[in-house]
Amino acid sequence: MPNPKITGNIAGPAIRNARRGTDMTQADLSAALRVDFQIDLAPDIISRIESGERTIRDIELVAIAKALNTSPHKLLGWKKAE
């Protein structure tokens, strides 16, 4: 049986929830990424990431997690082993 094609990203909804939890707009997150990490993600690109339409690079995921005061693991839905 062939493997299904994986598209988009799985972190998008968690990014949206974390961003909303900090009362940041997509424009706020975009500005923070640009100033603090020299990563240029326009608000419309952040919207596409959050909706799963655009993939996210590892460096973007790490920077977004730092900007939102969370971890990449949490944004990926990984839970600590008990």
Each domain of the chain, given as residue ranges in start order, spans: 12-75
* pLDDT for position 5: 61
What is the per-residue pLDDT for 67? 98
For the CA atoms of 55, 56, 58, 64, what is the dihedral angle to 10 degrees? Answer: -170
What digits encode the pLDDT tens for the residues 55-82? Answer: 999 999 999 999 999 999 999 988 765 5
Distance CA 31, CA 46 (A): 11
| Tens-digit pLDDT profile for residues 1-58 | 566 565 668 899 999 999 999 999 999 999 999 999 999 999 999 999 999 999 999 9
How far apart, in whole angstroms, are the C-alpha atoms of residue 18 and residue 79?
16
Q: How far is residue 79's CA from residue 33's CA, in Å, rounded to a whole number?
A: 25
- Polymer length in residues for the chain: 82
Q: Which fold has domain 12-75?
A: 434 Repressor (Amino-terminal Domain) (1.10.260)
* The predicted structure's pLDDT at residue 6: 58
